[in-house]
Structure 1
Amino acid sequence: MALSERERQMLEEMEEAIRAEDPRFASQMNGVRGPGGDRRRMALGIVGALAGLGLVLLGINTSIWVGVAGFALIVAAVALALTPGGRPTHGLGLVGDDGSVRRPGTGHQRPRAKGGKAAKATRQGTFMQRLEQRWDERRSNGQGW
């Protein structure tokens, strides 16, 4: 079922808000792997695990070191198959004091807020300090417990 124009617009706004709020999370969710990269890694992992199993079985009849090498090959192949591959198509940005996001190696800055200019950051302090500040504001307004 296709999304309506309004739903598509809302989805794009939410995606942009997430990209502006947390560029690292957004880049992880973008699917930064190349096309077919996961299939190749999975196939290579399966082939490596089967070869390692063959070495383990051969090591039972010959030398223990062949079995150990087979076990190491199985572990490496499974690790290869299960870890995400590929490189991000774009690097993570550096967030400046004014809230703008600057890409490493470039002078380009992307404003975090809507509009042409970079907005002044409204948040100050660490995450825990901001939570404590919100808690204090709610308690002073009678909204707390």
Structure 2
Amino acid sequence: MPLSEEELRLLEQMERALAAEDPKFVSALQGRTLRRVARMRTIAAAVVFVGGVALLMGGAMAQMTWLGIVGFLVMLGSATIGLAAWRGHRVQEERPAPGRDARFDFDDHPPHRFEVLDGGRASKAKRPRRQPRQPRARRSGTFMQRLEQRWQHRREQGGF
């Protein structure tokens, strides 16, 4: 159950009063923000990625395949962790203000939601109906003989 406007106002007043009385206590309670942690993880992943590139290149130059494979795996793992941290950082910035329910907020268009794309034809052209197939007569001759007959038929009609 969300807090009423009066309760939110009282809570904000208490927070301001506590911050004015003991700023060290407030900073100790806040600790590291999620944004700072995500930024540090992204930077650390980038440094480890560069180390993985160095391992990969060193393995290639020293003709040590196993070292190149280890370098590639280090690069892959650090890129995965770095991108996850960076995406988490980006989503944290775009969260709605407290008190707004993001599930029913259709006015905002954050990147993690589906979008409607306009495309395709405005009106579908109708296809002509296919004529029902006539039953074929029994094939005569081998495959090569039938090909030769088709070829002769085309030549007689002037197609070639």
Give TM class, smaller chain: 0.3 to 0.5
Which structure has the greater CA radius of gyration? Answer: 2
- TM-score normalised per structure 1: 0.35
- Higher percent of residues as helix: 2
